[in-house]
A and B are shown apart, each in its own frame.
Chain A
Amino acid sequence: MEKRKIKSVNPLRVGLAGLRLKNPVIAASGTFGYGQEYAQYMDLNRLGGIAVKGLSLKPRSGNPPPRIMETTGGMLNAVGLQNIGVEAFINEKLPFLRQYDVAVIANIYGESVGEYSKVAAKLSAASGVHALEVNVSCPNVRKGGLSFGADPKAAAEVTRRVKGETDLPVIVKLTPNVTDIVQIAQAVEKAGADAVSLINTLTGLAVDIKTRTPRLKNITGGLSGPAIKPVALRMVWQVAKSVGIPVIGMGGILTVEDALEFLIVGACAVQIGTANFINPHAMIDIIDGLEAYLEDNKLKHIDDLVGTFKT
């Protein structure tokens, strides 16, 4: 009898909180614009997902410059969530993204719980959004953002309200600027979050010693880049073993080796952020590298690697 050829399973495919990704590599919000900016440098179809720049109910002009400062092994930013607003995103940016076979994760931000709900509702009614990522962790805006992410009760409340507005998977993006990130992760899990992503930037400061003034107009900014990777990895490991929902890891990933570390400690997928700035091919290199690693280590599927950390 003739053997039927079984179509080989994509070894990088990830199912995550109802979100199907062709690989576990996602562009991190705030580092990839609305996808268009990098489309000329790569085939967006190769990516597992794109988390677009944080969207608010109304357009936001962002913080006055200077907004960025290079630091050792990374950078500080205080962009302040400059974005075109949810309506313009749906009308002007989503049609472009719909051309691609890539999961579109809409990162959302509000100054109040009500604003989060409204943004979530609008995006849920639009076609071409595959998940919501709730930003309760921006360190660069006065209202909302971090104040929701640093308090388990407030984080849970935002999560519950957003869940009530949408059938899309809800990912809650956590801040590392807290005493116990596990407590926040557990609170949003209990409130119905389908997944958590972590870490957002670490609040930092840089000083100009000639003028004795801050390097950033906002005074403080969020630190990203390889400088924060060990902190991120520690938090992802702690959260992954304390919650039942999937964890998306990020923080300073530049190479496939960095991405593998996050997967090994329990992240089901990774987001690549600041690396895109210095190497627009970073995500493609990481995807190719993951495939090669599985082959070299005789692993059939990426799931066989996730959470295999031995302590």
Chain B
Amino acid sequence: MHKNIFIGEICANDEVQKDHFLMKMYLPRTFGAVLPGQFVMVRIAGLTDPFLSRPLSIYSFSLEQNACVLELLYRVVGKGTQILAGLIEGSQLEVLGPLGTGYAMPDTEKNIVFIAGGIGVAPLSLLAEHLCVNSPSCGPNMTFYLGAQSSRQILGLDKLQSLCYAVHVCTDDGSFGKQGLVTDLIRKDIKKYPPGDTIIYACGPKAMLKTLNTILGGKYRCDVSLEERMACGVGACMGCAVAVKEGSGGAAYARVCCDGPVFGLNQIIWD
């Protein structure tokens, strides 16, 4: 049995914050289960401008009697996402997925720390939800750090507050929560989390992950999911390269789409 290109039917596509949309769609049950961190490639059938599919991370996933229900949280950044944002209920999309690797699950760590910048909240929110459902003992150990440009770009806060023991919000302009970057807050708080007893999950802009790498200094178990331009999403085009360390001390280009999008923070080479 070969994997299909699925047809997703949109049942909601709303602007939840300025330039940020939440798309909900129905897919056949054969779409299968989703691991937190995985993504889908979506495109409008037959459209050649924009030409390529768009990789979007999965924000929520649930099973109904006759369908898989998928939620995609995305930011309008260009032509492709602009067109997606214009789709109305009942529209159909071609969906390839679920693609890529998921986050590694916690072992016995007492502290589970999430760090999200902007739209990076999407896969981490699914992970938090997944942990609450499948390992209920995790909930009280989960702390979420959420960064956004301003109060108008904060995404999914209510859901995170219902899942996590604590949610700390910061905004660049101070219009909500603490003023500053989410990494400023982490730099202060990191002492609270002993490396041997903490697992960290992060997703956000490259600059944020790079700073996080400096703060953590290689001492923590930390999984990050990366965003990159992609053409195929399945490992064939080699377009979504990221430099990673190799066992022998060398470097190599890994593919974000299929070797990731989740990587150990310590694996990545930040030039």
Contacts and interface: CB of A to CB of B under 8 A. Distances in A.
A82 B49 contact: no
B229 interface: yes
A194 to B, nearest CB: 27
Interface of B: 2-5, 43, 48-53, 80, 94, 96, 228-232, 234-243, 251-253, 258
Given A41-B5, A73-B49, A278-B43, 20 more contacts: A37-B258, A38-B234, A40-B2, A53-B238, A61-B251, A61-B252, A63-B241, A65-B240, A67-B238, A67-B240, A67-B241, A70-B51, A74-B51, A75-B51, A75-B231, A82-B238, A274-B231, A276-B236, A277-B236, A280-B234
Contacts of A63: 241
A75 B243 CA distance: 22
A64 interface: yes
Contacts of B53: 277-278
A67 B239 contact: yes
A77 B51 CA distance: 14
Interface in A241-295: 254, 274, 276-281
Main secondary structure of the interface of B (DSSP, over half): loop
Contacts of B238: 30, 53, 62, 67, 79, 82
A231 interface: no
B228, B235, B241, B258 interface centre (most CB from chain A within 10 Å): B241
A237 interface: no
A73 B48 CA distance: 6
A183 interface: no
Residue from A31, A33, A41, A277 with most neighbouring chain B CB atoms (10 Å): A277
A62 B253 contact: yes
A226 B237 CA distance: 17
B241 A37 contact: no
A65 B268 CA distance: 14
Interface of A is mostly: loop
Of B240, B251, B253, most buried by chain A (CB within 10 Å of CB) is B253
Interface in A34-79: 37-38, 40-43, 53, 61-75, 77, 79
B125 to A, nearest CB: 27
B205 to A, nearest CB: 15
A32 B236 contact: yes
Contacts of B243: 64
A192 interface: no
A100 B9 CA distance: 35
Contacts of A280: 5, 96, 234
Nearest to B45: A279
A79 B239 contact: yes
A62 B253 CA distance: 8
* Most B C-beta atoms less than 10 A away, residue of A33, A37, A68: A68
Given A38-B236, A75-B52, A254-B48, A69 B229 contact: yes
Contacts of B236: 31-33, 37-38, 276-277
